[in-house]
A and B are shown apart, each in its own frame.
Chain A
Amino acid sequence: MTPATPVLHWLAKRQLKYNILALQLENEIAVINTALGASFSGAKTMVGTSGGGFDLMTEAMSLQGMSEIPLVVYLAQRTGPSTGVPTYTAQSDLNCALYGGHGEFPRIVIAPGDPKEAILRTEEAFYLSSKYRILSIIVSDKHLGESNYSFDKIEKSFLSPKRFILEKPNSDYKSYKITKNGISPRAVPGQGPFVRATSYEHNDYGYTIEDPYWTKLMNEKRLKKIPYLEKEIKKLKPTTLYGKGKNLIIGWGSTKGAILDSLPDLKNFRFLQISYIKPFPKEIVKKEIRKSKKVILVENNATGILADVIAEQTGCFVKNKVLKYDARPFTSEDVIEKISNF
């Protein structure tokens, strides 16, 4: 779905060269369920979509939560609600990424700010999704997903491209083994011991249960991953601080370019870019907000969704908001002009 399609086009053209498979199927629901099936049998999978397509996929995202099959989702936001202004940009689907899918389960929501970061963050999305058997959502938008950028060089990622699949699972393999960190070692069908995945609540072998004992235990098992994830993302630079000054601009995603371009013209402002929205780097954000004189949120939407996330996660209320919701991306002139009003 536009504007996620450039990724599909780019990969489809190179699928033989890099020995990957780029598929277009009958609809979004087929795409995400197929992706979960392929991941279950051992493939690294990612699906890409936008707005309404993402809505259609959310039932299967909840299935990811229950089945703990690794999955990466690329969400390219466009102007909503509904069909909206479909070939233009917005940052209005953050809540979909954070809360889409019923039930309680852990997930990662990453928002890269430019193409270079998108490459590295996508690697992280795969790494975390495979390691923790969770859902990773990469949030982009039309502005980032369909524009041309230039950058000089790319540092080598330090993440291992490991698949986190057991070499030889033992004969008493349990698909949902209870472990200290909630991560059950992963096996795939065909290795010998039978592997199970399920949308129902289950015991450690993956058989269906309804009793309170296993229901409680499995909920806890899945949620136990969260503190480990919170710890792990600290090593992945979840936020980046640019510039110096007593005042603070907070932003996420594709507004990075416009904000960075505006910084030299803004006196006494520094910019905190938040790249991990879930788990949320609350200590860093709280600390930066508390030590700033003015705090201004810059966001490409009408309500300032990130401010709500910040309030929920840190207890800090960001009241100054620079918002743009005319389906166009920010320019540095926009940022300079509007911030000067505060």
Chain B
Amino acid sequence: MKPKDLNTKEENTWCPGCTNFGILQATKEAISELTNEKKIKVKNVTIVSGIGCHAKIYDYLNTNAFYSLHGRVLPTCFGIKIGNPKLTVIGFGGDGDTYAEGISHFIHNCRYNLDMTMIVHNNQVFALTTGQFTPTSEKGFISASSPLGIKESPLNPIELALVSGATFVARGYATDVKHLKNLIKEAINHRGFSFIDVLQPCLTFHNALPYFNKYIYKLDSRYNFSNHKIAQEKAKEWDYCYKDNVKIPIGIFYKVLKPTYEDQWSQFKKPWHQIKRKINFRKVLEEFK
């Protein structure tokens, strides 16, 4: 199959030149390549989105799809996967969506290690609602809701994912489609909870494109992603604030194989809807006698 086979006929309402197009393209390429490599079946691919600019991807990807609530991408993904463990579940969230409203689900899903992928379109701003700060906005950010500049320091989701127990932690850059495509492929292939924080500058409300282009670099083969301590140090290299002369690493920070959530429950043998049951009321009630 080709990436364009995943197109829908829906009108795209992202701004012209929006960096979300990069994530959309990388996802389409990743899914089609994995399908061609027989790693996944496209009929099993199920995407979930939250609410925000990122979430419009629901209308632009021709797969099984669930347009869920703001902040609730992860529990929805979790449910879909435990409802049918054969599905390839990919969640798309925004930074406001995942790190503000849904932060508790993020921490717990890192811990659960269910086999699914979470891609966060991190533009460090609430863009759909015309520009308010989010938990990853840089200190001092002046937005519609913070005309005096925000006083608090941003959350570092890479660090948080690492300490919360995620088994695949990566950062991508929306405009580097090839690099991001490979990250998404690795994330889907990884057995366990895979998390990619994608730097996705919003050209309208938070244009950090020139900044990122200047300071982003790729983690190369010399980097050892199986060491948790090194990964934590690497995560600290950039604190999501826009200081000068920094280095912003992208790539896989950490990857390790651990038993997945579903591996540890014996009930996940086949999709629940295929299980035939014969209920013997009398037998169930016996134990109350």
Q: Which B residues touch A25, using CB under 8 A?
A: 75, 78, 108
- The residue from A20, A37, A200, A206 contacting B80, defined by CB atoms under 8 A apart: A37
A165 touches B75 (CB 8 A): no
Residue-wise interface mask of B (35-62) relative to A, using a CB-CB cutoff of 8 A (1 in contact, 0 not) = 0000000011010100100001011001
Main secondary structure of the interface of A (DSSP, over half): loop
| Bound: A195/B58 CA distance, A | 12
The reply on B242 being an interface residue by CB < 8 A is: no
B80 touches A189 (CB 8 A): yes
Q: Which B residues touch A295, using CB under 8 A?
A: none
Chain A residue nearest to B67 in the complex (CB): A198
B83 touches A156 (CB 8 A): no
| Bound: A189/B8 CA distance, A | 17
Residue-wise interface mask of B (260-282) relative to A, using a CB-CB cutoff of 8 A (1 in contact, 0 not) = 00000111000111110101011
A194 touches B69 (CB 8 A): no
| Bound: A5/B220 CA distance, A | 51
A196 touches B66 (CB 8 A): yes
Interface centre among A26, A154, A200 (most CB of B within 10 A): A26
Within A154-180, the residues touching B (CB, 8 Å) are 154, 156-157, 161, 163, 165
Interface centre among A20, A189, A206 (most CB of B within 10 A): A189
- Give, as a whole number of angstroms, the nearest-CB distance from B150 to chain A: 26
Stretch of A27-35, A229-237, A246-254 at the chain-chain interface: A27-35
Chain B residue nearest to A195 in the complex (CB): B64
* Known A34-B76, A190-B86: A63·B275 in contact at CB below 8 Å: no
Stretch of A39-47, A217-225, A282-290 at the chain-chain interface: A39-47
Q: Which B residues touch A188, using CB under 8 A?
A: 84, 271, 273
B51 touches A37 (CB 8 A): no
The reply on B104 being an interface residue by CB < 8 A is: yes
Within A10-31, the residues touching B (CB, 8 Å) are 15-16, 19-21, 23, 25-27, 29-31
**Number of residues in A with C-beta < 8 Å to the partner?**
50
A197 touches B67 (CB 8 A): yes
| Bound: A39/B44 CA distance, A | 16
B83 touches A207 (CB 8 A): no
- Give, as a whole number of angstroms, the nearest-CB distance from A15 to chain B: 7
| Bound: A33/B80 CA distance, A | 10
Q: Which A residues touch B277, using CB under 8 A?
A: 161
Q: Which B residues touch A207, using CB under 8 A?
A: 8, 10, 59
The reply on A315 being an interface residue by CB < 8 A is: no
Chain A residue nearest to B272 in the complex (CB): A43
Q: Which B residues touch A38, using CB under 8 A?
A: 79-80, 82-83, 272
B285 touches A190 (CB 8 A): no
- The residue from B46, B62, B275, B282 contacting A189, defined by CB atoms under 8 A apart: B46
B72 touches A33 (CB 8 A): yes
A21 touches B267 (CB 8 A): yes
B79 touches A33 (CB 8 A): yes
A27 touches B104 (CB 8 A): yes
| Bound: A163/B56 CA distance, A | 31
| B interface residue count range (under 10 / 10 to 19 / 20 to 34 / 35 or more) | 35 or more
Interface centre among B48, B59, B67, B84 (most CB of A within 10 A): B67
The reply on A59 being an interface residue by CB < 8 A is: yes
The reply on B68 being an interface residue by CB < 8 A is: yes
The reply on B231 being an interface residue by CB < 8 A is: no
The reply on A303 being an interface residue by CB < 8 A is: no
Q: Which A residues touch B82, using CB under 8 A?
A: 21, 23, 34, 37-38, 43
| Bound: A19/B268 CA distance, A | 9
The reply on B63 being an interface residue by CB < 8 A is: yes
Q: Which A residues touch B56, using CB under 8 A?
A: 208
Q: Which B residues touch A190, using CB under 8 A?
A: 43-44, 64, 84, 86-87, 271
Chain A residue nearest to B267 in the complex (CB): A21
The reply on B241 being an interface residue by CB < 8 A is: no
- The residue from A19, A36, A154 contacting B76, defined by CB atoms under 8 A apart: A36
The reply on A215 being an interface residue by CB < 8 A is: no
- The residue from A34, A35, A208 contacting B10, defined by CB atoms under 8 A apart: A208
List the 9 closest pairs (A to B, CB-CB), nearest first.
A37-B79, A42-B273, A41-B83, A38-B83, A189-B64, A34-B79, A43-B272, A33-B75, A198-B67
